[in-house]
Amino acid sequence: MAEASSNGLDGDGGTGPWWERGREPDYRATLANERTFLAWSRTALALLASSLAVLQLVTGVPEPLRVALSCLLAALSLTTAVVGYVQWRVRQERMRMGRPLGHLPVQAVLTAVFVLLTAVVGAVIVLAPGGR
């Protein structure tokens, strides 16, 4: 225990599950990290609801395009949920170990997927009856 105190760690520094290593971070940082995770979760849920809405409510669009858009939204929902959890987990562990939070390059990938999603939505609008 004296060694753990000398390196600034209150818990076991190298063994056990990640949530028991290091020291408990400031509760405000932990709560902010959890709020960010909840925002990712809300976004994933909204994308999943959009996927179901497109599949069930959009009419007058070729079915393969409608199914493709719905599948893209569902895949984006799953990806968003997983990315949100991974970011929460990585940042929580980094805070416990006193390391910089860093950043994951996944935002660039998600931006590219949103651009693809925008293109598919544009195609649905153009191909729908009465489209521009």
46-87 tens-digit pLDDT:
999 999 998 898 887 788 888 988 998 999 999 999 999 999
Question: Which residue from 8, 32, 33 is spatially nearest to 22, judged by alpha carbons?
Answer: 8
pLDDT (0 to 100) of residue 131: 54
> 109-126, pLDDT tens digit by residue?
888 888 988 887 787 778
- Give the tokens for residue 109: 């990938």
Asked if residues 65 and 128 have their Cβ atoms less than 8 Å apart, the reply is no
> 12-50, pLDDT tens digit by residue?
456 767 667 777 878 888 898 899 999 999 999 999 999
d(CA 59, CA 68): 14
Half-sphere exposure of 49 (CA within 13 A, CB side): 6
Give the torsion through C-alpha atoms of 77, 33, 115, 59, to 10 deg: 30
pTM of whole model > 0.75?
no
Give the mean model confidence (pLDDT) for residues 76-104. 88
